[in-house]
Amino acid sequence: MGRLSAAWFSYEGPGWGYAMDGGTVTVRVRHRDGEVAADQVWLGTSVGLLASAAPWRTFRWYRGQKHYAGMYWAATTQDHLIYESRLELARLLFADFDPSVHGIVAQPFLLKAVVDRQVRKHIPDYFLITDSGPVVVDVKPRERLPRPVVSFTFAWTRRAVELREWRYEVWSEPPETVLENIRFLAAYRRGWLFSPEILEELHRADLDGVPLRQAAELLPGRPEPCVRAAVHHLLWSHELHTDLNEPLRPSCVLRRTA
């Protein structure tokens, strides 16, 4: 398995009978210098502006806090991205691992719309720039999805996003084995830590069909731990792949990515 589809973990909420005029939807972003821009018409806002936004909210760490918040260095953006829960961190890992994702913005904007004659506001968790277009992502534990306020918010947000013919995704808990494998490979995401010479030799080596335990034996003149780590980096960067639905183990068979 070389490519992962976040759509596996999407949730389609129940239908809602409500009135929302797409022309009332606006968006507000925070610039990198901290300045908050004026509301803009959602349908006319450029992807570039949204992709360059700073996180809408900020947070502090303090003793006894209930939320698991932090910062993750993403290889995709070569920068730190914030998260406010372990589940949000998991979504970041999947986005960073996905070769079709080229940009990630955390808490990208404040979306506002008039729904049933009331102003509604929502801050999505992530904005992804992908090969197939922008994706707006909300992350929520599966057990909380049926709550009326959650379903309603996600329903009008989905409608607003799809007015732009973009994809909207509600992401919940992924398969645990896949998550653990990606979390393990993420330790090898920083490409500059690996010897260019070893990586070049691995590129030339015949690794297709080789079990993970035997990969290092193909470069007998190199330190085995360095070769093994470089192989893990090639798995992270999708130059090699294996079945991530099963736990990574020495018997896993490597395949060259077509």
Q: How far apart are CA 3 and CA 1, in angstroms?
A: 6
pLDDT of residue 17: 55
Based on the number of CB atoms within 10 Å of its own CB, is 251 exposed (0-12), middle (13-18) or buried (19 or more)? exposed
CA nearest neighbour of 23 among 114, 118, 135, 122? 114
pLDDT for residue 10: 39
| C-alpha–C-alpha distance, residues 45 and 60, integer Å | 30
Phi, psi values for residue 123, rounded to 5°: -110, 110
pLDDT in tens, the chain (258 residues): 343 433 333 334 444 456 777 788 999 999 988 888 889 999 999 999 999 999 987 766 656 666 678 999 999 999 999 999 999 999 999 999 999 999 999 999 999 999 988 999 999 999 999 999 999 999 999 999 999 999 999 999 999 999 999 999 999 999 999 999 999 999 999 999 999 999 999 999 999 999 999 999 999 999 999 999 999 999 999 999 999 999 999 999 999 987
The CB density around residue 88, as the number of other CB atoms within 10 Å, is 26
Q: Give the C-alpha separation, 163 to 26, whole Å.
A: 12
- In the chain, the domains with their CATH numbers are 6-171 (3.40.1350.10), 176-256 (no CATH)
Q: Which residues contact 22 (CB under 8 A, 6 or more apart)?
A: 42, 43, 159, 160, 163
pLDDT of residue 18: 66
Residue 14's pLDDT is what? 45
Q: Indicate the SS3 state at residue 65.
A: coil
CA-nearest of 161, 167, 166, 182 to 245 is: 182
Closest CA to 138 of 170, 106, 165: 170
